[in-house]
Structure 1
Amino acid sequence: MSPRNFLVTATPPTTNGDLHVGHLSGPYLGADVFARAQRMLGHTVLYASGGDDHQTYVVTTAQRLGEEPTELAARCTEEIRETLGLAGVDIDAFTSPDEAYRTEVREFFAGLYRQGKLKRRLWSFPFCADTDRFLVEAFATGYCPECLIETCGAICESCGHPNDVNSLLYPTASGAAADAETEPRAVEILVLPLEDYRERFVDFYRARAATMRPHVLRFVEEMLSRPLPDFPVTYPAAWGVPVGIAGFEGQVFNVWAEMLPALGIMTETARARRLPDRTADVWAADSGFELVQFLGYDNTFYFAFAHLGLVWAHGGLVEPTAIITNEFYHLEGSKFSTSRRHLIWARDLVGKYGADNVRFYLTLANPEHQTADFREPEFVSVVRTRLHEPLAAIRSALAPRIGQSTSSSPSIDAILVRYRDRMSRAYSLETFSLRLAADTSANLLALLAARAADDPSLAVTGLKAFAEQTAPVMPDLARQLADLLGAADTVPDLTDLTITAL
């Protein structure tokens, strides 16, 4: 297989709090395992993300906590960086907006405006005098007109369909008095007319069907069943990157539009750190890099339509090769919720049980195609049964044979060839699956544990294959095993093998 070049992005997390377990189980772990696996296979990878400081949720959370939004965002950015590190997420760049960033974002959209790619539209926004702001994004709540669930403005977290506050059912102003009234105000904004790119969307997703998850393709089909909306690139608000174009004073860029050039800035930072000798723009269409984007399903509209439309409007940027979504990860039957304190912080779980235990379980029970549910007793039971106990059984069975010679055989080789082939499918772009990687390796461990006493050669050779192939999932454990097993064909002493006790 020829070496490939991958740009890997994980949706920038909103910097209004640290990462909880639901966050970690999604784009950040998925992208990390994918990036590690591609490097293991000899490919070049840049993995980038960064703090999404300009979400209106930063403002609403700061108000609830009695903090300044800028201080909250800065603090949470550092917390998120630390949590990613504790969880063993080896990210090349996790950036934070600065003045150079804001200048680059403005220049990106100014260029599109000069080329006539962005259109002026008169847009009606409800204005709330009680909060002194227009109802955009998190400043508005209501019910989704598509699936009827309660949601905030801009996007429905449940079905992923976009909305504006005028299409929300029974919209109200977040943080306002119960009897606060709103009045419609017409504001001229800039939009990207997505319907203009309909045929390109149809052709693109037909060609990319093999590398898009089924839920993404179903969502695309739903969106294309009706006229595509104009995507607001700017809106009237004070929090965000000021537009800086005459006639649009008092407006900032829609944070989800901002995210496209932001991801380019983040990947360039990653390039400067990991590939300093490679000076070409890795975000350019002719860079030779394949863009693989990890995100929660609820963000699909922005990546599958808004960002792709902006890429085509620009004309010189890399298109996504794959959009890899995950579904919601619930906690004991209901959604993780910071406001209701219904959550487990990722750093607390990792601190209690260790990164490898957490990574193993979150890959094994990953919500990659369907909603999953986290329950701590089940987590402990599954990790103990499928990881700790097999390792302990192998160590016990091999202890009397330490130092004895081992050798492979055609039957052992055949077993491990099939194992490696299955792991290759789990790690390959077109069939990437965290669940398959963890489950296949756990099954191998169970087989080795059952046969170790009778066939130490299978146990030793199999452990070497296990250490090699599970390094993207459990890097610390894999490193320990590789060191203890060494290159010699003898039964190793596994006494010093350590993994956080449950």
Structure 2
Amino acid sequence: MTTTPRRFLVTATPPTTNGDLHVGHLSGPYLGADVFSRAQRMLGHTVLYASGGDDHQTYVVTTAQRLGLDPVELAARCNREITATLELADIGIDAFTSPDDVYRDEIREFFAGLHRAGKLVTRTWTFPYCAETGRYLLEAFATGYCPECLAGTSGAICESCGHPNDVDSLLFAASTGAGDGAVTEPREVEILVLPLEEYRERFTEFYRRRRATMRPHVLRFVDEMLSRPLPDFPVSYPADWGIPVGIDGFDGQVINVWAEMLPGLRHMAGVARARRGPETPSDVWAGDSGFELVQFLGYDNTFYFAFAHLGLAFAHGGLVEPTAIVTNEFYHLDGSKFSTSRRHLIWARDLVGKYGPDNVRFFLALGNPEHQPANFTEAEFLETVRTRLHEPLRALGTALAPHTGRPLPVPEGTEALLDRYRDRMRRAYTLETFSMRQAAETTANLLALLAARAAGDPGLAVAGLRVLASRAAPLVPGLASAIEARYAAAAPGAVPGLADLLPVTV
């Protein structure tokens, strides 16, 4: 079956550079976007995959303060660590950037253009101000309780339900880093906002057309948001960490880091294009570039991508709009959410460094939190990888060892069986039905079948293992490459040696 070639622009939410990636991060957007990108190239499509460090989050400031570090130095160090971790985990990203002067100029010009076009409006916003910290309560500088689901949260967004909040709606707001008795006073500040309600009809029509490529939780969130007036989205706020607005009348304000992210991703995509596909259109984020935008993110960021960024794209009028927003739910560690700030985590570099990228990628794909939270324990990781990956591979190696170097006939019906695997994997990799879990589960099932049949049906095992390697390459690229290398080294049609395919055993 042939398919029409497509062009995909793939993004993973820029990680906050207040720490390295933990296993919860890796299990989400970064692995998902990598598997999707590898799969589309395997299917004959063009892909650019981009992300970059989210240096201007206020969490960088609060973490640096807690650690006694300079925020600029912390962000630079974390960018280096994250880049190294992605490489260690075999995440084949085309560009992972960090903010520089060119980036900051592009961001300022993007919002200056929207301001000149009258798309941004001025609103008087009331912020609590903490004299003890010298900060307005916003983003990580504020803590309290979500007015929607009542969970404890920071300012701007609730990580539990994904709903936005502001300093007026955040319940029992308190100043981060201040003493228990710290007093705040309300201060009125004129800021720039994007009035999302003005785009209600555009949002409604967009999600009517895109329901097939949005995950159910995203659509439920969209319906919840559209059931009430949409909020104004702050584009600027009073702070000294971030990119200065650079528009008259807004001195002492920086661009909201979540607003910054849209043109920031556009910049990152441009870097990816320059590195991987210089023959493609110069502005791959343009609405007429021919690229389909596929964005991978944690569910807690849904508001920003589903409304704030899309609203900015509507306001701009010339940008590509997302074909799909692919969310993942929370990944828990021993029953509680992974958390960098609480140090409840396993660093991705430690797990991958100990057990190798293929073992980690296989497990994280197999139990991926696509539609509901999942839980990680090292004991379950070891048991699953041993029983569903290593033991079948060892059984295949043992059963086929007596046939090494000899040709084996392929039994009748083998191709029909393997075509079922190919078709199911194609469905798991296709945008409209993308599922790492399905791809990993189907691969594990075929591996178990081949291992069980290998002694009496070695021809099936030999043919099946090579097809498995080809189709499972987006999930376990190192293993797939090792299998292909063994087949390439063997005489044509002969059984290759298949011992010790995974360099790290568990």
TM-score (normalizing by structure 2): 0.98
* Aligned residue number for residue 277 of structure 1: 279
Task: State the partner residue of 1:321.
Answer: 323
Give the drift of 1:416: 0.4
1:500 and 2:493 matched: no
1:408 to 404, 407, 410: 410
Q: Hey, what does 2:70 align to over in structure 1?
A: 68
Q: How does 1:152-191 map to 2 (within 5 A)?
A: 152-191=154-193
| 2:198 counterpart of 1:196 | yes
Q: Which runs of 5+ in 2 are unaligned?
A: none
- TM-score (normalizing by structure 1): 0.99
How far apart in 1 are the matches of 2:361 and 2:166? 37
Quick one: which amino acid aligns to residue 488 of structure 1? P
Q: Tell me which residue corresponds to 2:31.
A: 29
Q: Aligned partners of 1:341, 1:108: CA distance in 2, in Å?
A: 36
Deviation of 1:409 after TM superposition, in Å, equals 4.0
Paired residue secondary structure (1:122): strand
Q: Distance between the aligned counterparts of 1:44 and 1:410, measured in 2?
A: 36
Q: Give the aligned partner of residue 330 of structure 1.
A: 332
SS of residue in 2 equivalent to 1:191 = strand
Cα deviation, 1:451-499, whole Å, max 9, x if unaligned, reads 0011111000000111001100000000000111238222211135233
Deviation at 1:302, TM superposition (A): 0.2
Match of 1:491 in 2: 495
Counterpart mapping for 1:136-151 below 5 A? 136-151=138-153
Distance in 2, Cα, partners of 1:419 & 1:377: 30
Q: SS of the counterpart of 2:102?
A: helix
Partner of 2:289: 287
Match of 2:234 among 232, 238, 248: 232
Shift of 1:337: 2.1
Alignment of 1:312-461 (within 5 A): 312-461=314-463
Corresponding position: 1:79 with 2:76:
no
Distance in 1 of aligned mates of 2:316 and 2:369:
34
C-alpha separation in 1, matches of 2:404 and 2:338: 47
Q: Is the 8 A contact 1:460 1:485 kept in 2?
A: no
Aligned to 2:477: 475
State how far apart, in whole Å, the 2-side matches of 1:488 and 1:261 are: 52
Query: d(CA) in 1 for partners of 2:235 and 2:421?
Result: 48
- How far is the alpha carbon of 1:410 from its aligned partner? 4.0
Q: Secondary structure at the match of 2:413?
A: helix
| Cα deviations by residue, 1:79-110 (Å, 9 ceiling, x for unpaired) | 00000000000000000001111111000000
Alpha-carbon distance in 2 for matches of 1:197, 1:371: 32
Q: Does the 8 A contact of 1:336 with 1:342 survive in 2?
A: yes
CA distance in 1, matches of 2:409, 2:201: 59
Q: Distance in 2 between matches of 1:407 and 1:365?
A: 36
Task: Tell me, in whole angstroms, the C-alpha distance in 1 between the residues paired with 2:409 and 2:89.
Answer: 36
1:103 equivalenced with 2:105 (yes/no): yes
Where do 5+ consecutive residues of structure 1 fail to align? none
Aligned 8 A contact 1:456 1:491 in 2: no
Q: Which residue of 2 aligns with 1:222?
A: 224
Q: Which amino acid aligns with 2:358?
A: D
Q: Aligned equivalents of 2:492 and 2:371: distance in 1? A: 41
Asked if 2 retains the 8 angstrom alpha-carbon contact of 1:467 and 1:481, the reply is yes
The separation in 1 between residues aligned to 2:405 and 2:199, in whole angstroms, is 66
Question: For the Cα contact (< 8 Å) 2:281–2:289, is it kept in 1?
Answer: no
> Using the alignment, how far apart are the partners of 2:437 and 2:485 within structure 1?
26
Q: CA deviation at 1:365?
A: 0.6
Give the CA deviation at 1:336: 1.2
Structure 2 residue identity aligned to 1:344: I
- CA deviations on 1:294-335 (whole Å, 9 max, x unpaired) are 000000000000000000100000000000000000000001
User: 2:301 corresponds to which letter in structure 1?
Assistant: N
Q: Counterpart of 2:107 in 1: which secondary structure? A: helix
Give a deviation string over 1:51-97, Cα, whole Å, max 9, x none.
Answer: 00000000000000111100000000000000000000000000000
How far, CA to CA, are the matches of 2:503 and 2:326 in structure 1?
30
1:47 maps to 49
Letter in 2 for 1:207: R
Range 157-166 or range 410-419, more displaced = 410-419
8 A Cα contact 1:331 1:375, kept in partner? yes
Query: Does the CA contact (< 8 Å) of 1:6 and 1:45 recur in 2?
Result: yes
For 2:502 and 2:127, how far apart are their aligned partners in 1?
58
**2:108 counterpart letter in structure 1:** R
SS in structure 1 at match of 2:112: helix
Secondary structure in 2 matching 1:286: coil
Cα distance in 1 between the residues matched to 2:382 and 2:244 = 48
d(CA) in 2 for partners of 1:319, 1:337: 31
Of residues 331-340 and 144-153 in structure 1, the stretch that sits farther from structure 2 once superposed is 331-340
The one-letter amino acid of 2:195's match is P
Write the deviation string for residues 411-437 of structure 1: whole angstroms up to 9, x where unpaired.
111110000000001100000001000
CA distance in 1, matches of 2:339, 2:204: 36
1:126 to 103, 125, 128: 128
Report how far residue 401 of structure 1 moved: 1.3
User: Hey, what's the Cα distance between the residues in 2 that align with 1:61 and 1:29?
Assistant: 25
Counterpart-to-counterpart distance in 2, 1:353 and 1:326: 24
Cα distance, 1:342 vs structure 2? 1.6
Which of 239, 243, 262 lines up with 2:245 in the alignment? 243
**Matched residues in 2 for 1:263 and 1:498: separation?**
36
1:497 partner letter? L
Q: Matched residues in 1 for 2:281 and 2:224: separation?
A: 40
Any idea what SS the aligned residue of 1:76 has? helix
CA distance, structure 1, for counterparts of residue 309 and residue 363 of structure 2: 32
> How far apart in 2 are the matches of 1:495 and 1:186?
70
Q: Is the 8 A contact 2:469 2:483 kept in 1?
A: yes
